[in-house]
Structure 1
């Protein structure tokens, strides 16, 4: 039986200039928005309502059709016309805002983010806003995606995605697909000197997923965390999101200054480092500093989170073995990602945790559900196991070395009055120092207005330090690198950037 309409409010005026169907449309819409007609309420048939109102049936049909088209009504076969179960939110919001009286809400009653949420969102807002796209000079953090073997990858992915019986269509495996964990353990052991078994590998949704999981599992609110300064914003955000107290530790040509860290806070709960290629300055943590760091972590009871990003791309000498491979006390948690070696949208990272943390981390990631799709994991396991990953890395290492050399030559020539390259032997990007009196944020803004993306080093600092620019080269074609270097030089000159003496 149809729900009774508020007929007392449906007064149609034959003398008005507004057509009768529009008057009926307005009245019914008003009744829906006011809640007098509830979602799911059945309306009279067009014939019955036309008789009740003394109008033609076509008038009612025209109003019903308009309301149905806008999402207020819906027709059900055998059930007639009824108010839609889900009303158009945007129209509801606009209508209610237009009719609602202004409300004064006491500040104490306003809903707010948690302190962790405030800290996390504040860190995110520090990141520069720019359009992500391949080949934008000098965009950092992006590999040469156009060089990735996409056809091969699509075949591997299709191999696992075409058959629902192969196990990739069910719920994800908590710690990651066993085949991928085996491939990661074998690769990390052979290429990075990591000592582990596949049981210690936890597959995550990218590097940020790994950071978030580690922060949740290891930190309580107020726990001190050593972070490199300057350092990675993503790590800083994850630790702040866990409520940690950040302890900025300076870095130099040998990496993080362990003695300075001890002087600032002797007993951190966690130490976050990028020893293979310090972010963003590019230094490699020296062996004496590595040993000192491991010794202090062992004596103080701290965990070390080793972020081994960009380690595959070292252009001078042999790759440096991981910090985890030197650890004999079980203090190091090793972290890796395929975002820089393959492509960022893959969103697969991993942690290699000490044996005594395996059960806890495995349980946690099953609860959060933050694991990549199984079919993508399976395709990546094949990509590594069949030798495609090693071959791709070797090809990219040669390409990136060439592009790096082009940028270094530009820094020694047309850019030399304003920029001096920071020491470093690898990676997909590099830092270059401005004169001490320069405003690196102003120079980065001027470059952005000229269509060039660089980041100011001050963006990554918690304390004052040398100004400079962070510049990527991996995704930029060789000819564009040379041209963009000339444009950047002209931009810095026009912006009045102080020169090096």
Structure 2
């Protein structure tokens, strides 16, 4: 039943007895809204609790409780012999009016006053968005195929720990992360990547992005110079910008980042972020000569190197190359890895391997950011690795992605050999094809979009103009027949 009443000439008050909100709370909110909106003017007399209860057809306790809340919060005043009146709330009323104007569709909101650093982050975030956004996931970069993930196994491990283990980890946990997971990671990367470390050097993070952000916060002061690969991963640039760093784009060629040119640009840089095993977006592998030069630079200037081991798990020929971390005798390299791309993207679990002397500072910052990650998924992942499920899934997906990579390469060579130079990747989940020199990139983008394709350009991941534009074609998340159909659409667009 709905109760209505009009106190004097004031706006109608409607209370709904079927609502889950108590009647006294409904009455309080209606009166409060009318006071803030100026519909009940300052100094206006309100009916007594008895009269209002009779008018509304509710108990006097309902009106008394509503008035008590309004009185305690200063919206009304009550004096002996003068009854109850609306209080003077010029500040509150102007605030409410301003807020109503802000959300009105016909009025444009005021420009957000971000800091200079905040504006840079918005720009960097916008630059990383794909140029042609459509509903299809065809050719989407960095997207694994999650259909093959062993969800039943994962669910069984989740249920096991939810039943047996949660109580044991219900209190505050170690900021470094779940110890058995760190032990499993140390064993895995020691064997597969040549990263020999102790579990005490590992910090569990929210994906690789969490690790990049943590390192940038701790090792950089505002204004410090930091090398970034050009073109390179926008997530790394965003973390550095958030720390107030001055970005120094260092070009990448067939051997990886050009260390000599980086030294000419800013020898005194504090830090360098690199993807040596599988550079993003070009896919090149850093040569041994460049690796040694980079380590020598870090030793000379007391700089730091963040090694983002992007997509290294998916190498299609030979044994995965040893990580840069394994060549570092001066302890200047911080190694970053993630499970999001290998297992499924919503699993925001990554890790950072840091020199022992940096751990106190990194963990101190971690406690002020998010303290630590929720333990349940960490426990599940530890068992997933220890019981061999991780390696089995990795081997299966490597074979599937190899088949898809080869199907994409064959289709490109069959339909677009006259227009595109295809770079065959030895690792990862995408490849790069280079367009003819001096091509009209905007025209290409328009034609690609016209044919319903969502393809990223190499130039999106850099700040300097390219002499030749390239397209990034992801293949991991798409079956071979769909890749072939997508290449046919791309051929129609480019030949047009």
SS at match of 1:227: strand
SS at match of 1:121: helix
Other-structure match for 2:101: 97
Q: Return the alpha-carbon distance in structure 2 between the equivalents of residues 104 and 398 of structure 1.
A: 53
Measured at CA, do residues 489 and 104 of structure 1 come closer, stay the same or move farther in structure 2, by a change above 3 Å?
A: closer
Measured at CA, do residues 297 and 165 of structure 1 come closer, stay the same or move farther in structure 2, by a change above 3 Å?
A: closer
Q: Return the alpha-carbon distance in structure 2 between the equivalents of residues 299 and 146 of structure 1.
A: 48
Measured at CA, do residues 485 and 171 of structure 1 come closer, stay the same or move farther in structure 2, by a change above 3 Å?
A: same
Q: Return the alpha-carbon distance in structure 2 between the equivalents of residues 385 and 218 of structure 1.
A: 33
CA deviations 1:28-63 (Å, max 9, x no partner) are 85335338599xxx9855x61376xxxxx4xx45xx
TM-score of the two chains, using structure 1 as the length reference:
0.81
Q: Return the alpha-carbon distance in structure 2 between the equivalents of residues 273 and 446 of structure 1.
A: 34
Other-structure match for 1:49: 52
Measured at CA, do residues 444 and 360 of structure 1 come closer, stay the same or move farther in structure 2, by a change above 3 Å?
A: same
CA deviations 1:441-482 (Å, max 9, x no partner) are 543453234332210111011111120111100000111111
SS at match of 1:413: helix
Q: 1:493 aligns with which of 480, 492, 495?
A: 495
Map 1:192-341 to 2 at 5 A. 192-341=193-342
Other-structure match for 2:368: 367
Verify the 8 A CA contact 2:232 2:461 in the aligned structure 1.
yes
Q: Return the alpha-carbon distance in structure 2 between the equivalents of residues 313 and 455 of structure 1.
A: 21
Verify the 8 A CA contact 1:203 1:350 in the aligned structure 2.
yes
Q: How far does residue 132 in structure 1 lie from its aligned partner after superposition?
A: 9.4
Other-structure match for 2:486: 484
Other-structure match for 1:33: 37
Measured at CA, do residues 157 and 103 of structure 1 come closer, stay the same or move farther in structure 2, by a change above 3 Å?
A: closer
Other-structure match for 1:184: 185
Measured at CA, do residues 98 and 470 of structure 1 come closer, stay the same or move farther in structure 2, by a change above 3 Å?
A: closer
CA deviations 1:328-373 (Å, max 9, x no partner) are 0010000000111101100011110011111111221122116331
Q: Return the alpha-carbon distance in structure 1 between the equivalents of residues 11 and 226 of structure 2.
A: 70
Measured at CA, do residues 319 and 145 of structure 1 come closer, stay the same or move farther in structure 2, by a change above 3 Å?
A: same
Other-structure match for 1:468: 470
Measured at CA, do residues 371 and 143 of structure 1 come closer, stay the same or move farther in structure 2, by a change above 3 Å?
A: farther
Q: Return the alpha-carbon distance in structure 2 between the equivalents of residues 27 and 364 of structure 1.
A: 46
Measured at CA, do residues 284 and 77 of structure 1 come closer, stay the same or move farther in structure 2, by a change above 3 Å?
A: farther
Q: How far does residue 261 in structure 1 lie from its aligned partner after superposition?
A: 1.2
Verify the 8 A CA contact 1:253 1:423 in the aligned structure 2.
no
Q: Return the alpha-carbon distance in structure 2 between the equivalents of residues 28 and 291 of structure 1.
A: 70
Verify the 8 A CA contact 1:137 1:484 in the aligned structure 2.
yes
Q: How far does residue 200 in structure 1 lie from its aligned partner after superposition?
A: 0.4
Gaps of 5+ in 2: 13-28, 74-95
Verify the 8 A CA contact 1:447 1:488 in the aligned structure 2.
yes
- RMSD of the alignment, in Å? 3.5
Map 1:444-459 to 2 at 5 A. 444-459=445-460
Other-structure match for 1:428: 429
TM-score of the two chains, using structure 2 as the length reference:
0.81
Q: Return the alpha-carbon distance in structure 2 between the equivalents of residues 96 and 10 of structure 1.
A: 21
Measured at CA, do residues 104 and 147 of structure 1 come closer, stay the same or move farther in structure 2, by a change above 3 Å?
A: closer
Verify the 8 A CA contact 2:102 2:108 in the aligned structure 1.
no
SS at match of 1:345: coil
Gaps of 5+ in 1: 13-24, 52-56, 65-74, 87-91, 495-501
Measured at CA, do residues 461 and 77 of structure 1 come closer, stay the same or move farther in structure 2, by a change above 3 Å?
A: same
Q: Return the alpha-carbon distance in structure 1 between the equivalents of residues 423 and 102 of structure 2.
A: 57
Measured at CA, do residues 50 and 469 of structure 1 come closer, stay the same or move farther in structure 2, by a change above 3 Å?
A: same
Q: Return the alpha-carbon distance in structure 2 between the equivalents of residues 269 and 152 of structure 1.
A: 44
Measured at CA, do residues 196 and 76 of structure 1 come closer, stay the same or move farther in structure 2, by a change above 3 Å?
A: farther
Q: How far does residue 8 in structure 1 lie from its aligned partner after superposition?
A: 7.0
Verify the 8 A CA contact 2:271 2:305 in the aligned structure 1.
yes
Q: How far does residue 247 in structure 1 lie from its aligned partner after superposition?
A: 1.0
Verify the 8 A CA contact 1:441 1:458 in the aligned structure 2.
no
